[in-house]
């Protein structure tokens, strides 16, 4: 079932006005991830529609188990997903809430009760973007043991406060961590080396949109790099400005090029920038 939007409206109300369908059923389709706007799955009742947008309702999928986020790639060995901001990759000793791991596992088990899934790498809870999971232990071990050799590109996009002095830069730091899990730049040679490259893509009066390429994968390294440049990432409650009112961290892992150990070739995974990034930079 397809619709073309004719006026500004919120998704649930527009569908209720234009479909011969009870509002309860429309809510069920939204909840089960069966509604797409411009080919992107949308579950928000109040998602803002603009004239010309295309809406597709997959009426066959309401009773199927679906993921509440985008699958970028899937075969019998790995699954690559676009993690939303605010979702833990895997549970920690202190945080046992629902995680990306649990959600993907439920999805795979719904299709095959013997399915397994293994975390290959992590993103911070507040960072969105590309995460790779393995479907068998052999593939997981191959990827983890050779991660730095297999991954030839790790690229992020971020929105930072203000305007950077240089349009491109390379930040080389040694990082350490406090007992309260706060990462900081060491003054000597102690800690682990972190290398962060950036390039300014766009600026407006208040913010800069930057492309970030990392040569190392240290905890919080991008957030600390921009904090040290005095242009923290927008929405960063841990390393940013206390006056920042944004509700999400504006850091997104948007490109990852990885050698697939079974297919024996490099694959580039890519995602679009989140809508919030486009909105804040307009």
CB 249 within 8 A of CB 233: yes
Paired with 258 in beta bridges are: 151, 267
What letter would DSSP give residue 51? T
- 215-264: per-residue pLDDT in tens? 999 999 999 999 999 999 999 999 998 888 898 999 999 999 999 999 99
Confidence band for 95, pLDDT divided at 50, 70 and 90: low
* Positions of CATH 3.10.290.10 in the chain: 2-57
What percentage of the chain reaches a pLDDT higher than 70? 96
Confidence band for 65, pLDDT divided at 50, 70 and 90: low
Average pLDDT over every residue of 84-107: 86
- Pairing mode, strands 71-74 and 78-83: antiparallel
CB 45 within 8 A of CB 30: yes
- 142-190: per-residue pLDDT in tens? 999 999 999 999 999 999 999 999 999 999 999 999 999 899 999 888 9
Paired with 118 in beta bridges are: 134
pLDDT of the residue at 94: 67
Q: Which residues are catalytic?
A: 124
pLDDT of the residue at 60: 66
* Domain 71-281: assigned CATH number: 3.30.2350.10
The dihedrals phi and psi of 237, each to the nearest 5 degrees, come to -75, -20
Q: Look up the CATH superfamily of 2-57.
A: RNA-binding S4 domain (3.10.290.10)
Considering the chain, what is the average pLDDT of its residues? 92
CB 131 within 8 A of CB 69: no
- 4-45: per-residue pLDDT in tens? 999 999 999 999 999 888 888 888 888 877 899 988 888 889
Half-sphere exposure (CA, 13 Å, Cβ side) for 14? 25
């Amino acid at each position: 079932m397809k619709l073309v939007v004719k006026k500004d409206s919120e998704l649930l109300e527009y569908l209720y006005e234009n479909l011969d369908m009870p509002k309860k059923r429309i809510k069920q389709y939204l909840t089960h991830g069966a509604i797409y706007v411009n080919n992107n799955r949308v579950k928000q009742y109040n998602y803002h529609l603009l004239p010309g947008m295309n809406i597709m309702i997959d009426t066959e999928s309401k009773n199927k188990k679906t993921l509440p986020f985008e699958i970028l790639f899937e075969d019998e060995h790995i699954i690559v997903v676009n993690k939303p901001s605010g979702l833990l990759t895997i549970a920690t000793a202190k945080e046992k809430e629902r995680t990306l791991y649990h959600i993907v596992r439920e999805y795979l088990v719904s299709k095959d009760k013997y399915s397994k899934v293994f975390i290959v790498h992590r993103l911070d809870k507040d960072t969105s973007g590309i995460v790779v999971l393995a479907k068998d232990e052999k593939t997981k071990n191959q990827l983890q043991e050779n991660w730095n050799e297999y991954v030839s590109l790790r690229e992020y996009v971020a929105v930072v406060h203000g305007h950077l002095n240089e349009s491109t830069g390379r930040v080389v730091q040694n990082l350490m961590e406090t007992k309260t899990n706060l990462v900081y730049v060491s003054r000597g040679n102690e800690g682990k080396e972190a290398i962060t490259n950036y390039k300014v893509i766009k600026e407006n009066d208040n913010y800069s949109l930057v492309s970030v390429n990392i040569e190392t994968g240290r905890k919080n390294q991008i957030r600390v790099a921009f904090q040290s440049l005095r242009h923290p990432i927008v929405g960063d409650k841990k390393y940013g400005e206390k006056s920042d009112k944004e509700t999400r961290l504006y850091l997104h892992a948007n490109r990852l090029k990885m050698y697939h150990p079974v297919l024996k070739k490099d694959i580039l995974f890519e995602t679009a920038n989140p809508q919030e990034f486009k909105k804040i930079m307009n």
